[in-house]
């Protein structure tokens, strides 16, 4: 795995996890104390320095990639800005029709710069992340055609978090081109926006307008932000250490040797992996958002209780929200609003109606989004399948929705009733778990074989032997994990009703407040999966 190569190139590998002792006992306190004692006007520079130190500690010399991408987008945005300034001056005294023509010339120039920026930014990502995959597949085709020529497969070191900060950096240049934000002449402010240490490994993928200015105007740590931020961090720690890391030995054992397990155990592993992935990624996001809150910076949310979704489409509006929003704004709408697509929508709507008309252009754009989504997660066929699986599900959902609506009306089914909503939610979770099985499987072939085993061999009678002995987990591990998942579910349910638990607890008296948070700390210390028998588990999304 490239991720492991990159990490081994660094100095303090455990720092990649926010919940490692190195991070939250050493790095974070040093960082907070250093920040607190730094004079107000220097705090932003301190954050920038500590962010680059953090990245150097986890990635060593690969830090140059981060600096290089920041430098590139800085240059491209200023180049676009210069063209926009010239455009403004040139168009000043022209009449409306002349303006339209002259504007096109400048837009063409800007588009050329954007093209260079995309080639530089995405090109680097393509070379580092995908060249081995593409060349490997070309070699397989050459072998199939019985040709002796082979490409040598490169083995690049992969900078940690490159898939996240590449998209964030590119969104900034595109936003400058669209006039949504002004080109930043302050290189250091841009560097902090792209390299802010909590978000660099796993996101969220922020827009320049969302966080750049907030990060650059940070002030002294406030008590309220400190406590609320650390509480959010603690909640994420519980998800990661009690649920995700505890499930890891079992999930790893089943997915790596699936052919020695019964179908029932494989199905259980798929469910556990889905819970693990959610607890791991959303737990890390709690940590990121919590740490940022300590500095007084509000980060965008990346999860909004995805397992309450009624459709797959809704699920993806609640899971990894910032990635979905990136694809929506920079792929889906640009594709659907291309001239040819708009003409297609307009004419198709007149022929096949309001629903199916726009679906033609929409499905082309959706295909682009999901192929990119699959590839973004990794350079392997199972990730491409994962993307296509969701594309097909969303497309089917759109195709049959008028039919479902009519059927419900005929059968007098209330689609807002609790049983119907529950049915939709359970169905969505089931489909998500199948998708995650392919996502985690070690190769597409293994994914299909695991599905086959679930269908043809859905037995649990080897539960004791397989599960308890081979993955070294006991019944109590499963009961405990299920109980904590129950806690997360109840918290999510309360949040879904619009009640903010941390704020509610903050209003209680000091004894209740501290008793609650001490209890949570003790809970993590007693029930967290660490120490003998547990290898530290790297954040799952960091490898993407």
Partner 1 sequence: MEELIEILEDIQPDIDYENCEDLIDGHHLDSLSILSLVAELEDAFDITIPAIEIIPANFNSAKSMMKMIERLQEEG
Which residues form the interface with partner 1 (CB under 8 A)?
96, 99-100, 103, 178-180, 329, 332-334, 336-337, 342-343, 345-346, 349, 354-355, 357-359, 361-362, 398
Residue with Cβ nearer partner 1 (198 or 358): 358
Nearest distance from residue 258's CB to partner 1, in Å?
A: 38
At closest approach, how far in Å is the CB of 330 from partner 1? 8
Q: Which lies closer to partner 1 via its Cβ, residue 181 or residue 225?
A: 181
Query: In whole angstroms, how close is the CB of 328 to partner 1 at the nearest point?
Result: 8
Query: Given phi > 0 = left and psi -120 to 50 = alpha, else beta, which region is 277?
Result: alpha
- Least Å distance, CB 174 to partner 1, is 9
Spacing of C-alpha 31 from chain mean position = 25
Our CB check for partner 1 shows the closer of 193 and 316 to be: 316
Task: Note whether 249 and 481 are within 8 A (CB).
Answer: no
What contacts 24+ positions apart, CB below 8 Å, involve 48-51? 48/188, 48/191, 48/192, 48/195, 50/197, 51/192, 51/195, 51/196, 51/197, 51/200
> What b-and-e string marks burial along 134-169, b requiring 16 or more CB atoms within 10 Å of the CB?
eeeeebeeeeeeeeeeeeeeeeebbbbbbbbbbbbb
Count CB atoms within 10 A of the CB of residue 191.
19
Closest distance to partner 1 from the beta carbon of 300 (Å): 15
Q: What is the CB neighbour count within 10 angstroms for residue 289?
A: 23
Contact residues for 359 (Cβ-Cβ < 8 A; gap 6+) = 398, 399
Question: Residue 6 or 176: which CB sits closer to partner 1?
Answer: 176
Per the rule left: phi > 0, alpha: psi between -120 and 50, beta: everything else, 533 is: left
Distance of closest approach, residue 397 Cβ to partner 1, in angstroms: 11
DSSP 301: P
Q: What helix, strand, coil percent values describe the chain, rounded to 5? A: 80, 0, 20
Whether the upstream peptide bond of residue 204 has omega within 30° of 0, thus cis, is yes
Instruction: Report the 3 state secondary structure along 232-271.
Output: HHHHHHHHHHHHHHHHHHHHHHHHHCHHHCCHHHHHHHHH
Of 137 and 354, CB closest to partner 1: 354
State the minimum distance, in angstroms, from the CB of residue 333 to partner 1: 4
In 3-state terms, what secondary structure has residue 312? helix
| Minimal distance, residue 422 CB to partner 1, in Å | 19
Nearer CB in complex with partner 1: 325/529: 325
Nearer to partner 1, 217 or 409 (CB): 409
> C-beta of 407: minimal distance to partner 1 in Å?
19
Q: Which CB atom, from 24 or from 330, has the smaller least distance to partner 1?
A: 330
CB nearer to partner 1: give 354 or 417: 354
């Amino acid at each position: 795995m490239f991720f492991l190569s990159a990490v081994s190139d660094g100095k303090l590998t455990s720092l990649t996890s926010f919940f490692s002792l190195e991070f939250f006992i050493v790095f974070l306190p040093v960082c907070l104390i250093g920040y607190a004692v730094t004079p107000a006007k220097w705090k932003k520079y301190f954050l920038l320095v500590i962010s680059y130190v953090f990245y150097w500690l986890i990635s060593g010399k690969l830090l140059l990639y981060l600096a290089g991408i920041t430098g590139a987008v800085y240059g491209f945005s200023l180049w676009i800005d210069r063209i926009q300034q010239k455009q403004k001056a040139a168009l000043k005294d022209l009449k409306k029709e002349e303006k339209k023509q002259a504007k096109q010339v400048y837009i063409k120039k800007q588009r050329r710069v954007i093209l260079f920026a995309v080639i530089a930014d995405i090109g680097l990502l393509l070379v580092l992340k995908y060249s081995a995959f593409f060349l490997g597949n070309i070699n397989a085709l050459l072998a199939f055609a019985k040709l002796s020529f082979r490409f040598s497969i490169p083995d690049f070191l992969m900078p940690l978090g490159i898939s996240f900060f590449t998209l964030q950096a590119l969104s900034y240049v595109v936003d400058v081109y669209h006039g949504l934000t002004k080109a930043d002449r302050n290189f250091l402010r841009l560097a902090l926006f792209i390299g802010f240490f909590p978000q660099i490994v796993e996101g969220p993928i922020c827009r320049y307008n969302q966080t750049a200015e907030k990060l650059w105007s940070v002030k002294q740590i406030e008590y309220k932000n400190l406590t609320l931020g650390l509480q959010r961090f603690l909640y994420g720690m519980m998800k990661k250490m009690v649920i995700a890391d505890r499930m890891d030995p079992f999930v790893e054992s089943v997915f790596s040797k699936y052919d020695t397990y019964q179908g029932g155990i494989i199905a259980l592993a798929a469910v556990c992996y889905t819970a693990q992935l959610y607890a791991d990624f959303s737990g890390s996001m709690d940590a990121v958002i919590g740490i940022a809150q300590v500095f007084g910076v509000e980060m965008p949310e990346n999860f909004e209780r995805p397992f309450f979704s009624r459709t797959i489409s809704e699920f993806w509006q609640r899971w990894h929200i910032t990635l979905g929003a990136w694809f929506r704004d920079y792929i889906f709408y640009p594709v659907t609003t291309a001239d040819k697509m708009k003409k297609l929508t307009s004419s198709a709507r007149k022929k096949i109606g309001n629903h199916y008309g726009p679906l033609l252009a929409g499905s082309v754009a959706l295909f682009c989004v999901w192929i990119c989504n699959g590839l973004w997660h990794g350079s392997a066929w199972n990730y491409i399948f994962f993307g296509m699986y969701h594309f097909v599900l969303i497309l089917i959902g759109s195709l049959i929705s008028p039919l479902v609506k009519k059927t419900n009306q005929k059968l007098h089914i209330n689609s807002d009733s609790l049983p119907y909503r529950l049915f939709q939610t359970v169905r969505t979770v089931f489909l998500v778990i199948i998708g995650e099985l392919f996502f985690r499987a070690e190769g597409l072939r293994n994914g299909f074989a695991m599905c086959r085993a679930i269908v043809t061999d859905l037995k649990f009678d080897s539960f004791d032997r397989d599960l308890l002995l081979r993955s070294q987990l006991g019944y109590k591990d499963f009961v405990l994990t299920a109980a904590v998942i129950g806690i997360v579910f109840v918290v999510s349910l309360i949040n879904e009703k619009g009640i903010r638990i941390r704020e509610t607890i903050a209003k209680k008296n000091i004894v209740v407040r501290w008793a609650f948070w001490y209890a949570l700390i003790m809970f993590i210390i007693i029930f967290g999966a660490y120490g003998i028998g547990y290898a530290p588990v790297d954040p799952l999304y960091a490898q993407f």
